[in-house]
Chains A and B, each alone.
Chain A
Amino acid sequence: MSLSFDRIKEKLNILADAAKYDVSCSSSGSVRKNSTKGLGDSSGMGICHSYTEDGRCVSLLKILLTNHCIFDCAYCVTRKSNDVQRAAFKIQEVVDLTINFYRRNYIEGLFLSSGIFKSPDYTMERLVAVAKKLRLEENFNGYIHLKSIPGASDELMREAGLYADRLSVNIEIPTISGLKLLAPDKKHEDFTKPMLKVKNEIIQYKSEKKIIKSTPKYAPAGQSTQMIVGATGESDKDIMYSATHYYKNYNMKRVYYSGYVPVAEDNRLPAIGTQVPMLRENRLYQTDWLLRFYGFGVQELLNNDHPNLDMDVDPKLGWALRNMQYFPVDINKADKSVLARVPGLGMKSVHKIINARRFRNLNWEHLQKIGVALNRAKYFIVCESNKWEHRDMEGTKIKGLILQNSVGKFRKEYSNQLQLFS
């Protein structure tokens, strides 16, 4: 008994370590009711059961089935030519780990990916087998995220979606030229073909579901993808235009941005020891949010005049400072979509303002209590008060004042960067 636990522990360490560069850990968006007194119930809301010391959410048991791989993609720690310890789980071992972790309330479910061994279909078949076993033999209603293996057949992608909540293919390199350089064995179509299949199956499921209620679920939490940031010299505009393309044409639920962590000495890539571009990654996520929830168009935030995001201010503030003609906005009158564009107002504050102003006109004190970030917002709004003299200032002056009077969590990094040019 204890001998086999030691072996499992060894495999788990290797295969969790190799899987951790996949940043998705979402466990939300899928409803699976526990109607048969089985194990697990998903209400659609994700839960982060813990957070690693790097501050990332731990929601799923995220592992590779194996890190043996026939491909040699330069950016990947599992690539064929890398000298690392290799291991492979048996199907039953993954099932047992998932069930036992889930029963102890450690996780919301499983995120299973894999190196590609023998062939894409051979690999995909084994991922599907794990999910199938969990659903049919263990009566498991927790969350399952399977990686779509680039090049896998349509039949397998169809079957995968019957058991998984989410499917994903990581595009990894935002531009086709970058992909050719770093992953010469893979073709762009290998990534997009399974994506397209999943997209079409989801559309078909949704239309059939309207007619026949018992249509079996197909990937109810949709599909996602990931791009590595800072490996191939692409601009923020390249990345976000590419992300917009995947959101639009493949109905992606999420695009993830993963700051490149150097894992190999390779003259095509940043050297080992190069700092992970975490601030840049953060700015890209903020932009992604502005596109999905705040009504911004990508060309408003990034275009040929501004191909890269500001590092010293967040993208909404950056946009506002370049577009002072839209301000100040009247807090007590402006539409929701206009309020959403005010720096310092998140969607929660917007919601509260719209509710609260039905009772009385709001003044600075009200806004402060509601939780508006007035240090930024005050330059862009008027309210029930005659103190709004900041109105005539120029963007550059406001930016200076905001930076002077606030502390940002990345401030150290960009003040270093600024010193480089002074």
Chain B
Amino acid sequence: MNATKTLIYDGSFNGFLTAIFVAFDEKAQIADIQKNSASQSGLFSETETIFTQMDKAKRVWNGIHKKSHNAIKDIYFAFLSENKGIELVLYRYICKLFTSETSIASDYSDDIVLKISQLARSVGREKHRMEAFVRFQLTKDEIYFANIEPDFDVLPLISKHFRSRYADQQWLIYDVKRKYGIFFDLNQVEIVSLDLDEIYTNSLNKSAHFGDEEYNYQDLWNNYFKSTNIKSRINLKLHKQHVPKRYWKYLSEKKAV
């Protein structure tokens, strides 16, 4: 009998897929799969450090993809939820997927399938929200800049949307919580890390990075937002449901002027 093992990986999705490869390859009893930044060793299991290998990750990706297109999307989205313990749930989901004859991605009466599908939907919603709530501010050096603070790690998911939409302007979207951003230089999107000296929220203080024209447009937008409201139909509960308060500080229309 094999002893139970805890796999430690680098936190990347490819690292996670490599861990899955190792788990299957060694036919190991998996106690847990943990990020190296947050690992805790179990009392009765040995640990193994996984080094990300693209070819192994790719083989797992292709294997899942062949089994079910919906499943691969749900797995990637659920992984980005950063939910505590998500790796082990995903591992069990993948085991189920490979041992089943039929595609299990729509077996919503199974607890693990339902959990993954629900997490994937939450991440999908956050992706959609960020596509809506990004507010670019034009810097003096002609870069459309936005900082965001999404609930989940959705930058990899929104990159394509912004690239095809804003193909003729330089833009940078920075995740304040996870401290990295994506930058489009008119040719391609790159992952960048920055040392932001401050977070550029909708505060009344103007920053020297942005010109007068930028603040004029924010002002126009803020005004438009108020003029288009019908006071006799006010419904603040619905408003807050659609635009949760935690996003307000990044929305120029919610600036108090």
A39 contacts B167, C-beta separation under 8 Å: yes
B109 contacts A366, C-beta separation under 8 Å: yes
Q: Which of A50-58, A301-309, A321-329 contacts B (4 or more CB under 8 A)?
A: A50-58
Considering only residues 208-258 of chain A, those with a C-beta below 8 Å from chain B are none
A246 to B217, CA, bound (A): 39
Instruction: Tell whether A48 pairs with B239 under 8 Å between CB atoms, given A37-B168, A105-B146.
Output: no
B50 within 8 A of A: no
Closest residue of B by beta carbon distance from A100: B217
What residues of chain A lie closer than 8 Å to B110, measured between beta carbons? 359
B227 contacts A12, C-beta separation under 8 Å: yes
In-complex Cβ contact of B164 among A9, A12, A41 (8 A): A41
A51 contacts B243, C-beta separation under 8 Å: yes
A12 to B213, CA, bound (A): 16
B109 contacts A54, C-beta separation under 8 Å: no
A48 to B131, CA, bound (A): 9
B21 within 8 A of A: no
A311 within 8 A of B: no
Considering only residues 28-67 of chain A, those with a C-beta below 8 Å from chain B are 33-34, 37-41, 43, 47-58, 61-62
Q: How far is the CB of A412 from chain B (nearest CB, A)?
A: 13
A104 contacts B220, C-beta separation under 8 Å: no
Q: Which of A14-22, A337-345, A395-403 contacts B (4 or more CB under 8 A)?
A: A14-22
In-complex Cβ contact of B109 among A21, A34, A362 (8 A): A362
What residues of chain A lie closer than 8 Å to B238, measured between beta carbons? 51, 54-55
A49 to B104, CA, bound (A): 35
In-complex Cβ contact of A53 among B133, B137, B221, B236 (8 A): B236
Q: How does the 8 Å CB contact mask read for B147-172 relative to A, with 1 for contact and 0 for none? A: 00000000000000100111111000
A49 contacts B109, C-beta separation under 8 Å: no
Q: How does the 8 Å CB contact mask read for B193-225 relative to A, with 1 for contact and 0 for none? A: 000000000000000000011001101110111
A20 contacts B227, C-beta separation under 8 Å: yes
Q: How does the 8 Å CB contact mask read for A104-132 relative to B, with 1 for contact and 0 for none? A: 11100000000000000000000000000
Please indicate which of the listed interface residues B110, B212, B221 has the most CB atoms of chain A within 10 Å of its own CB.
B221
Q: How far is the CB of A375 from chain B (nearest CB, A)?
A: 20
The size of the chain B interface, using a CB distance under 8 A, is 54
B233 contacts A278, C-beta separation under 8 Å: yes
Considering only residues 232-251 of chain B, those with a C-beta below 8 Å from chain A are 232-239, 241-243, 251
Q: How does the 8 Å CB contact mask read for A2-26 relative to B, with 1 for contact and 0 for none? A: 1001001100110011011100000
A1 to B214, CA, bound (A): 12
A52 contacts B225, C-beta separation under 8 Å: yes
A356 to B105, CA, bound (A): 10
A20 contacts B114, C-beta separation under 8 Å: no
A355 contacts B128, C-beta separation under 8 Å: no
Considering only residues 121-142 of chain B, those with a C-beta below 8 Å from chain A are 128, 131-138
B216 contacts A39, C-beta separation under 8 Å: no
In-complex Cβ contact of B242 among A41, A48, A61 (8 A): A48
What residues of chain A lie closer than 8 Å to B108, measured between beta carbons? 352, 355-356, 366, 369-370
A164 within 8 A of B: no
What residues of chain A lie closer than 8 Å to B104, measured between beta carbons? 359
B230 contacts A20, C-beta separation under 8 Å: yes
A1 to B138, CA, bound (A): 17
A2 to B219, CA, bound (A): 12
B107 within 8 A of A: yes
What residues of chain A lie closer than 8 Å to B241, measured between beta carbons? 55
In-complex Cβ contact of B221 among A2, A38, A104, A352 (8 A): A104
B220 contacts A50, C-beta separation under 8 Å: no
In-complex Cβ contact of B136 among A52, A105, A139 (8 A): A105
What residues of chain B lie closer than 8 Å to A54, measured between beta carbons? 229-231, 233-235, 238-239
A52 contacts B221, C-beta separation under 8 Å: no
A352 to B157, CA, bound (A): 25
Closest residue of B by beta carbon distance from A361: B109
A104 contacts B228, C-beta separation under 8 Å: no
A359 to B104, CA, bound (A): 9
Q: How far is the CB of B131 from chain A (nearest CB, A)?
A: 6
A303 to B239, CA, bound (A): 35
Q: How far is the CB of B36 from chain A (nearest CB, A)?
A: 34
Closest residue of B by beta carbon distance from A46: B132
B223 contacts A12, C-beta separation under 8 Å: yes
What residues of chain A lie closer than 8 Å to B87, measured between beta carbons? none
A362 to B110, CA, bound (A): 11
Closest residue of A by beta carbon distance from B213: A1
What residues of chain B lie closer than 8 Å to A356, measured between beta carbons? 106-109
A101 within 8 A of B: yes
A360 to B233, CA, bound (A): 46
A369 contacts B109, C-beta separation under 8 Å: yes
Closest 6 CB pairs of A and B: A55-B238, A355-B106, A16-B227, A55-B235, A54-B233, A51-B242
Query: Would you give 11 A-B contacts (Cβ < 8 Å), ordered by A?
Result: A1-B212, A5-B219, A12-B223, A16-B228, A53-B236, A54-B230, A55-B239, A104-B221, A105-B146, A276-B232, A356-B107
* New A-B contacts (8) at CB < 8 Å, excluding given A5-B220, A105-B146, A261-B230: A9-B219, A38-B167, A50-B251, A51-B238, A52-B228, A103-B138, A103-B169, A276-B232
Chain A residues packing against B (C-beta within 8 Å) = 1-2, 5, 8-9, 12-13, 16-17, 19-21, 33-34, 37-41, 43, 47-58, 61-62, 97, 100-101, 103-106, 139, 259, 261, 276, 278, 352, 355-360, 362, 366, 369-370
Chain B residues packing against A (C-beta within 8 Å) = 104, 106-111, 114, 128, 131-138, 144, 146, 161, 164-169, 212-213, 216-217, 219-221, 223-225, 227-239, 241-243, 251, 253
